[in-house]
């Protein structure tokens, strides 16, 4: 099928297009209206139809695929692996749902899930979906203050947690963090349901805390029917970073999300029932919601839920999983691939990876070197894709399930069907031509699966996302992008990552790409630092492949000149960083994203801000030391 025609139909005849796509899921009651856009920018999809995410992910497969693998829970932290068939998964979800009901959770109640990557976390999400409760997953190990702010915003009736997670063999106690968060929160959840993994001692609070295992025993034979929900009822709230301290809850619907995931599993991920999907993310992030828990199961696949690092016990662990479980589609992040590239390639080559058909990478820009290396080693398609917590599924990529569109290095691809993508000049609001940089925006209505609103704050939804470009009500991604003559988009960085140097607007992403081409550069982060003369200057922090030349002051100075010369040649002297500083580590979140705002704050002598998601706080000290 011609993708251009497929895409154009989704834009020109969206109601007919999405009516067809809605046939990919089960509806208990047919919808009476495909789209209600009577109150822009708020869109309602499949109005009047009733369905259920848990039914579409689990129950509908039991009759035909009951004994097929559904959930494969692997922990290299505790050396455990367990496969649940669709029938076994249904039973566990019903038991969990019965527990929630026994603790007073009802349709529309919020359940905050604060758990490691264990099977019970998936049971919890699916059980909430089954009974019409609204889950809000918070990344396991988040600091107490941030957790408290999410408790106050979501106001959950119950918190579902665990004694501890584990990272690199070290237990991370969750219960003390949760206890402190509840102490700090104005809202007090009625119950705390706890999975005791036996990793750390855990004290239960009488009258509030209950043990999951003991309640599970009481509900072993539970049968909990699916609660059929109107398509536009809420399925979950997932918090994402904002420009203010107040959490920003992305609110998702039921029917539109189910259709978008079923559709994307077919058209983007080429999913087939019985195959195995391995997303290396975490349920605390949107990728974990869409492509660990819901998407693969809706497609009738087996999905792998992995607790552990990509390099423990060694850097071959992911590839061992691919061989053992015959993984066909893998979803990861460029940072993880760069980490693996530093390790002996024999750890990958020793495994039979012939089942793997494609690897999808997202979360940050994919550089050419990383893309080429993993493509050469795996000998499969490497497919970049760009999206956000807010969209819930990819926005830019190549839809190989529709047409074999070629990829283009440095680009996540073309607009995905349903998305009305434009590039607008930030100052004038005029549309940009090929080769011109603009703000990547979406015209309404947003397609199914995208956020409905900011939880509890419709006005914030309008003000934050739809009011940033004057005289245009368009959804801003807050990303700079460029489109080439063939319609491929290139992401150039956040709009707030643009540096204005003496009137010249420079994207940090462009400078990073240039510096990355130096043969001794492994990773780089570029930020803008306030400068009295030029307004801003660029500061570059570099991790070297071989740090020995930088061990002396003379060596560092020579390397700095070399790197600056590369930028001079490729981008011109105006883009040359004021300094190139060498560090052993860059501050990142647990999902691998660079904390550029924190680096910038340190450069300008400000507080680095909320660091609850930082992987290693010591990395900030390296930035401070380099500046000293």
Structure confidence by residue, pLDDT tens digits, 178-210: 999 999 999 999 999 999 999 999 999 999 999
Q: How confident is the model at residue 465 (pLDDT cuts 50, 70, 90)?
A: very high
Q: How many CB atoms lie within 10 A of CB 555?
A: 14
CATH classification at residue 549: 3.30.300.30
SS3 at position 270: coil
Domain for residue 360, yes or no? no
Instruction: Report pLDDT for 142.
Output: 76
412 lies in the same domain as 514: no
Domain for residue 344, yes or no? no
Rounded distance between C-alpha atoms, residue 313 and residue 169, angstroms: 10
142 lies in the same domain as 247: yes
Residue 623's alpha-carbon distances to 578, 580, 628, in angstroms, are 15, 12, 9
397 lies in the same domain as 512: no
521 lies in which domain range?
Answer: 502-627
Structure confidence by residue, pLDDT tens digits, 402-433: 999 999 988 999 999 999 999 999 888 999 99
- Of the candidates 41, 40, 36, 1, the one whose C-alpha atom is nearest the C-alpha of residue 18 is 36
Q: Which of 465, 483, 512 is the last residue of a domain?
A: 465
453 lies in the same domain as 508: no
Beta strand pairing call for 453-454 and 438-443: unpaired
Q: Which of 408, 437, 465 is the last residue of a domain?
A: 465
Domain for residue 24, yes or no? yes
Q: What is the mean pLDDT of the chain?
A: 93
What percentage of the chain has pLDDT greater than the value 90? Answer: 79
461 lies in the same domain as 506: no
Look up the pTM and report it.
0.85
Domain for residue 418, yes or no? yes
Asked if 318 contacts 275 with a C-beta cutoff of 8 angstroms, the reply is: no
205 lies in the same domain as 60: yes
173 lies in the same domain as 235: yes
What distance, in Å, lies between the first and last C-alpha atoms of the chain?
A: 59
According to DSSP H, which parts of 430-575 are helical?
Answer: 458-465, 508-516, 553-571
Indicate if the pLDDT at residue 377 is higher than 60. yes
Asked if 315 contacts 344 with a C-beta cutoff of 8 angstroms, the reply is: yes
113 lies in the same domain as 68: yes
Domain for residue 350, yes or no? no
Rounded distance between C-alpha atoms, residue 272 and residue 265, angstroms: 9
DSSP 199: S
Residue 607's alpha-carbon distances to 542, 604, 610, 611, 616, in angstroms, are 22, 9, 9, 10, 17
Structure confidence by residue, pLDDT tens digits, 118-158: 999 999 999 999 999 999 999 887 778 889 989 999 999 99
Q: How many CB atoms lie within 10 A of CB 473?
A: 13
DSSP 29: B
Q: How confident is the model at residue 364 (pLDDT cuts 50, 70, 90)?
A: confident
SS3 at position 50: strand
Place of tokens 């905050």: 112
Domain for residue 490, yes or no? no
Instruction: Report pLDDT for 420.
Output: 98
Q: How confident is the model at residue 497 (pLDDT cuts 50, 70, 90)?
A: low
Domain for residue 353, yes or no? no
Indicate if the pLDDT at residue 317 is higher than 90. yes
Instruction: Report pLDDT for 503.
Output: 56
Domain for residue 475, yes or no? no
441 lies in the same domain as 532: no
442 lies in the same domain as 516: no
Structure confidence by residue, pLDDT tens digits, 266-277: 999 999 999 999
Indicate if the pLDDT at residue 176 is higher than 90. yes
The per-residue DSSP string of 605-616 comes to T------TTBS-
191 lies in the same domain as 245: yes
The per-residue DSSP string of 237-256 comes to EEEE--SSSS-EEEEEESHH
622 lies in the same domain as 574: yes
CATH classification at residue 29: 3.40.50.12780
Structure confidence by residue, pLDDT tens digits, 238-267: 998 654 557 789 999 999 999 999 999 999
According to DSSP H, which parts of 27-159 are helical?
Answer: 53-54, 60-65, 86-102, 119-131, 144-154
Mean pLDDT is lowest, of 239-243, 374-378, 390-394, for 239-243
Instruction: Report pLDDT for 23.
Output: 98
**Domain total of the chain:** 2
- Of the candidates 284, 328, 256, 361, the one whose C-alpha atom is nearest the C-alpha of residue 37 is 256
SS3 at position 461: helix
Q: How confident is the model at residue 589 (pLDDT cuts 50, 70, 90)?
A: confident
Residue 255's alpha-carbon distances to 47, 252, 476, 521, in angstroms, are 9, 10, 24, 46
Rounded distance between C-alpha atoms, residue 261 and residue 297, angstroms: 10
């Amino acid at each position: 099928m011609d993708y251009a025609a497929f895409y154009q139909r989704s834009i020109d005849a969206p109601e007919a297009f999405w009516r067809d796509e809605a046939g990919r899921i089960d509806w208990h009651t047919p919808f009476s209206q495909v789209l209600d856009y009577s109150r822009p920018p708020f869109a309602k999809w499949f109005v009047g139809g009733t369905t259920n995410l848990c039914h579409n992910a689990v129950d509908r497969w039991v009759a035909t695929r009951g004994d097929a693998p559904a959930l494969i829970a692997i922990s290299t932290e505790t050396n455990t692996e367990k496969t649940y068939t669709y029938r076994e998964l249904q039973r566990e979800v019903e038991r969990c749902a019965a527990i929630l009901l026994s603790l007073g959770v009802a349709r529309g109640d919020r359940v905050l899930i604060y758990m490691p990557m264990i099977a019970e976390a998936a049971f919890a999400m699916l059980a909430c979906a089954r009974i019409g409760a609204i889950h809000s997953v918070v990344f396991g190990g988040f600091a107490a203050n941030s957790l408290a702010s999410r408790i106050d915003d979501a106001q959950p009736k119950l918190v579902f947690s665990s004694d501890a997670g584990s990272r690199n063999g070290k237990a991370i106690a969750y219960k003390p963090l949760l206890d402190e968060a509840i102490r700090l929160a104005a809202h007090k959840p009625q119950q705390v349901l706890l999975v005791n993994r036996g990793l750390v001692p855990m004290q239960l609070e009488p009258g509030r805390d209950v043990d999951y295992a003991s309640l599970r025993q009481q509900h072993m034979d539970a049968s909990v029917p699916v609660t059929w929900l109107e398509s536009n009822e809420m399925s979950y709230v997932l918090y994402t970073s904002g420009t203010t301290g107040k959490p920003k809850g992305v609110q998702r619907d039921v029917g539109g999300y189910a259709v978008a995931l079923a559709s994307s599993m077919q058209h983007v991920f080429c999913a087939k029932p019985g195959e195995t999907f391995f997303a290396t993310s975490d349920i605390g992030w949107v990728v974990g919601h869409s492509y660990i828990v819901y998407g693969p199961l809706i497609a009738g696949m087996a999905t792998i839920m992995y607790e552990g690092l990509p390099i423990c016990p060694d850097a071959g662990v992911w590839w061992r999983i691919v061989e053992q479980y015959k993984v066909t589609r893998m979803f990861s992040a460029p940072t993880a691939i760069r980490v693996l590239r530093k390790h002996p390639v024999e750890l990958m080559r020793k495994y039979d990876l012939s089942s793997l058909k494609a690897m999808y990478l997202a979360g940050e820009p994919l550089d050419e070197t990383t893309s080429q290396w993993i493509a050469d080693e795996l000998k499969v398609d490497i497919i970049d894709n760009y999206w956000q917590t807010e969209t819930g599924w990819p926005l830019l990529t190549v839809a190989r399930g529709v047409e074999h569109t070629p990829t283009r290095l440095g680009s996540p691809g073309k607009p995905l069907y349903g998305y009305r993508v434009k590039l607008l000049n930030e100052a004038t609001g005029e549309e940009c031509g090929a080769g011109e940089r603009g703000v990547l925006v979406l015209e309404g209505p947003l397609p199914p699966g995208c956020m409905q609103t900011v939880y509890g704050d419709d006005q914030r939804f309008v003000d934050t996302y739809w009011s940033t470009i004057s005289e245009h009500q368009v959804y801003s991604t807050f990303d700079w992008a460029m489109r080439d003559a063939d319609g491929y988009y290139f992401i150039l960085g956040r709009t707030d990552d643009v540096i204005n140097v003496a009137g010249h607007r420079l994207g940090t992403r462009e400078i990073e790409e240039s510096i990355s081409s130096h043969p001794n550069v492994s990773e780089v982060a570029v930020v803008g630092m306030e400068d009295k003369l030029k307004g801003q200057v660029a500061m570059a922090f570099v991790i070297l492949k071989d740090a020995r030349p930088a061990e002396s002051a003379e060596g560092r100075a020579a390397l700095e000149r070399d790197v600056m010369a590369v930028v001079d040649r490729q981008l011109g002297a105006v883009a040359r960083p004021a300094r190139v500083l060498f560090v052993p580590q860059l501050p990142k979140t647990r999902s691998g994203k660079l904390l550029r705002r924190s680096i910038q704050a340190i450069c300008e002598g400000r507080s680095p801000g909320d660091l609850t998601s930082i992987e290693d706080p010591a990395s900030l000290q390296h930035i401070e030391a380099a500046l000293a």
